Structure 1
Amino acid sequence: MPDTAATAPRAGPGAFADVLRLPGVGAITAIAMAARIPATAVGVTLTLHTVTTLGHGFGAAGLVAAAVPTGMAIGAPLLGTMVDRHGLRPVLALTMTAGLLFWSVAPLLGYAGLLGAAFVAGILTLPVFSLVRQVIAAAVPAGRRRPAFALDSMTVEISYMTGPAVGSLLTVWLGSATTMRVIGAGLVLAGIALWRLDPPVRADGDGAARTGPRPPLRSWLTRPLVGALLAVTAAVIAIMGTEFAFIAALTSSGQAWAIALVNAVWCLASLLGGFLYGSARRGLPLPLLLAALGLATLPAALAWSWWSLLFLLLPAGLATASTLAAGSAAIGDLAPDRVRGLVTGLQGSATTLGIAIATPLAGVLVDTASPGVAMLACGSVAVVAAGVAAPLLRVRT
């Protein structure tokens, strides 16, 4: 079999096959998909536990569900720095211990205790999304990262299609306390799998910390990197704000039964877009993809029924995974090897910041205007951010 790392990159499905043949990439992709399923089930499970078991309203439940990603936004860069300095396994030991403790005692806590513990647990949660991107950037040569990150974005879509559904169904069937412990067990098993695999987190393949000074901040926190992080945040605002708005639209019109169907078709369109992006001979620039995502979101504001919403969201779905993959590829190329964990942690924070902005922004606009206005606003954020990010990304320092 030829050495796929040494031959010219292929287009089409062969691009993904070549990437998966690289040492460790297939294993980390499989582990990532398995680990992200319990990770994406956290929000809905904590929400249902707060409402159905603790007897609080959805406002209180939203605070608990937001506590974990808020903690993760703080913890991801810190844990990424630990990976840079000490390697992967010490961070796995810390996060597995913290996760096992939280998910064991969380079902026993009252509301105030759960809120505080969820925030602390978020800080110490295994940053599986950031970690996988770091491993991909270290294991995959720069010329092959586009299909690698496209594949990663496609697995994220599959996880988001699966995790929340599994979390809600298990909560209904087994109760929230059991489901929370199942999530904890899943995250610990993912940590054990990563421990055994011990993938390289730097391009030299050395998992231990390097000696010598770290590069100064201004040498790597460049304008292109800021532009790429801004693009990621704006893309997440468009995606998550649109999701919130169409859920509100279908619920208020008595068509809540169609939420799962619309979401599934939207995710399938995103999978197709990610496949086309990763298999193309040449990738499109990140600002162009971000602008396309924002513009493609705008027509959904005109939807008048569940089936019109489904069709009007298809163009936005096609641009979703490809935009996120382009953001990951740009950040992976711009991150110096010595601080790759910190930079991918910042990408995780940028993603979480987008979620933190999108939900309240869409919520306020839904309440004061309409779901359509919320979609217009969130899509417009992506278009404006594309215009800001484009000149930043043109500067290579």
Structure 2
Amino acid sequence: MALDPYRQLLRLPGVPTLLLVGLLARVPSTATGMALTLHVAEVMGLDYAPAGVVAMASTIGMAIGSPLSGRFVDKHGLRPVLTVTTVAQAAFWACAWALPFPALVVAAALAGLLALPVFSVTRQCLAAMVPVPQRRTGFALDSMLVELSYMMGPALAVAGITTLGSGVTMTVIGAGMSMAGVGLIVLNPPTRSAEELVERAVKVPRRQWITPAFVALLGTAAAATFVLTATELSLVATMTDAKQTAWVGLAVAIWCVFSLVGGFVYGGLSRGLSPLVLIASMGLLTIPVALVEGGWHWLILALLPAGLLCAPSLSATVDVLSRWVPSGARGEAMGFHGTALLIGGAASAPIAGAVIDGHGPEWAFAVAGLMGVAMVVVALPFWRRRPAVPAASVAPVVPEPVVPEPVVEVVEPAVIPSSRE
């Protein structure tokens, strides 16, 4: 495996800073769901069903707000959107811990609608700053950093609420969100490349890039998070039934390491793979996990092949999206991608939960894998109907007409042309 692709990527101006700021900004974002759930279920004493209502309200808000934020970034630039969403997050987290349940549900929905677009903005700016041949490596590294943020954020939320209380923890999350927004505002990374900014941008109608192929791409992204979320729930349920709950955190951490390794290897390859191949393979490799018996270490070992494909699958969908969509609509498209990821994860929880309760956690592994494969099969016929958008989403520069100068006729002696002319 060559390290040169990563060395070349990190030599690009501004890319290391963007990736570092993106990582730090995502940590408080990944802590929000766990913090709200524990606050409602444990601190407010309302059990986990009401906590699920708050989480659902927040998720619905984010699903709607993600493409809207991206559209406003495309139209008005990065800083106005970041300013509004940063203020909204600071206001919500400053008072969320003191709100009664009905008000918290409404506020969580509004906060989700005005969520800080850290994930989509980082990917959008990465697409603008990295040349097309290096984007696969860039998105693979970005997916690895997302894994790291999800390993840190929820764990810090649990530690904070159990030791410091929900008030302090949620205030710290709000401070972290505010710092993340301010950091991105100060950094102000470009949302379009230099070539795209030099020439006049073309306004491409949505019907030219929101095609059946684009919808199929979003479906495969949703399928990936469906498989991942259902697998995580099945893993936790299996270990809980086996009275091995104390090892759940370690098992999930090892599974995340599998994804990191897979993303690192994939980003260093000379050629990428279609997200259809990666997601279908991840689903197929998840199905046999249902047959594993014994301790949790055997279960984790069985998840190794599918785990290696987690980060590559997600990064491949972003890579394809960045090449299919014009630069003038890239923010909105990244927002739709984020919505698809949310829908896949949200849909998997009740389905996997019903399978676990009705037939056992081992069957949930099989259902997760089969659903991933089924979504790829559904997307396959539409895949070749790609958006009819030119690779360079800018209008050609039309040269000004040149007025010919008067021609002065000069009579010269005749010259016999040579064979080179």
Contact 1:200 1:207 in 2 (8 A): no
Superposition pairs of residues 251-266 of structure 1, within 5 angstroms:
251-266=240-255
Task: Quote the residue 1:17 is aligned against.
Answer: 7
Task: Quote the residue 2:53 is aligned against.
Answer: 63
**In 1, Cα distance between equivalents of 2:70 and 2:340:** 14
Superposition pairs of residues 1-397 of structure 1, within 5 angstroms:
12-204=2-194, 214-304=203-293, 305-396=295-386, 397=388
- The CA deviation string for residues 128-147 of structure 1, in whole angstroms up to 9 with x for no partner, is 11111111111111111100
**In 1, Cα distance between equivalents of 2:129 and 2:202:** 23
Task: Quote the residue 1:4 is aligned against.
Answer: none
CA apart distance, 1:371: 1.0
Contact 1:83 1:91 in 2 (8 A): yes
CA apart distance, 1:289: 0.5
**In 2, Cα distance between equivalents of 1:297 and 1:62:** 27
Contact 2:60 2:109 in 1 (8 A): yes
Secondary structure of 1:361's match?
A: helix
**Against the structure 1 CA distance between its residues 207 and 81, is the aligned structure 2 distance closer, same or farther, given a 3 Å change threshold?**
farther
Contact 2:202 2:328 in 1 (8 A): no
**In 1, Cα distance between equivalents of 2:381 and 2:309:** 21
TM-score (norm: length of structure 1)? 0.94
Contact 2:143 2:311 in 1 (8 A): yes
Secondary structure of 2:383's match?
A: helix
**In 2, Cα distance between equivalents of 1:206 and 1:127:** 22
The amino acid across from 1:241 in the alignment is A
Secondary structure of 1:125's match?
A: coil
The amino acid across from 2:15 in the alignment is V
Contact 2:196 2:327 in 1 (8 A): no
The amino acid across from 2:341 in the alignment is T
Instruction: Give unmatched runs, 5+ long, in structure 1.
Output: 1-10
Task: Quote the residue 2:396 is aligned against.
Answer: none
CA apart distance, 1:67: 2.3
**Against the structure 1 CA distance between its residues 243 and 207, is the aligned structure 2 distance closer, same or farther, given a 3 Å change threshold?**
farther
The amino acid across from 2:245 in the alignment is A
Root-mean-square deviation (CA, aligned residues, Å) is: 1.7
CA apart distance, 1:253: 2.4
CA apart distance, 1:211: 8.0
**In 2, Cα distance between equivalents of 1:205 and 1:156:** 28
Contact 1:200 1:206 in 2 (8 A): no
**In 1, Cα distance between equivalents of 2:96 and 2:17:** 31
Contact 2:262 2:309 in 1 (8 A): yes
CA apart distance, 1:197: 0.6
Q: Which has the higher helix share?
A: 1
CA apart distance, 1:332: 1.0
Would you say how many aligned residue pairs link Structure 1 and Structure 2?
386
**In 1, Cα distance between equivalents of 2:50 and 2:236:** 19
Secondary structure of 2:279's match?
A: helix
CA apart distance, 1:35: 1.0
Secondary structure of 2:79's match?
A: helix
**In 2, Cα distance between equivalents of 1:207 and 1:45:** 41
- The CA deviation string for residues 287-338 of structure 1, in whole angstroms up to 9 with x for no partner, is 1101111011112212333122111111111010010010110111111111
- The CA deviation string for residues 145-173 of structure 1, in whole angstroms up to 9 with x for no partner, is 10000000000111111111111011111
Secondary structure of 1:41's match?
A: helix
Secondary structure of 1:394's match?
A: coil
Contact 1:201 1:207 in 2 (8 A): no
- Say which is worse superposed, 149-158 or 213-222, in terms of deviation: 213-222
- The CA deviation string for residues 33-85 of structure 1, in whole angstroms up to 9 with x for no partner, is 11111111111111111122111111111221232222111000001011001
**Against the structure 1 CA distance between its residues 207 and 388, is the aligned structure 2 distance closer, same or farther, given a 3 Å change threshold?**
same
| Structure number with larger C-alpha Rg | 2
Contact 2:89 2:111 in 1 (8 A): yes
Identical aligned pairs, as a percentage?
42
CA apart distance, 1:118: 0.7
The amino acid across from 2:288 in the alignment is P
**In 1, Cα distance between equivalents of 2:150 and 2:176:** 15
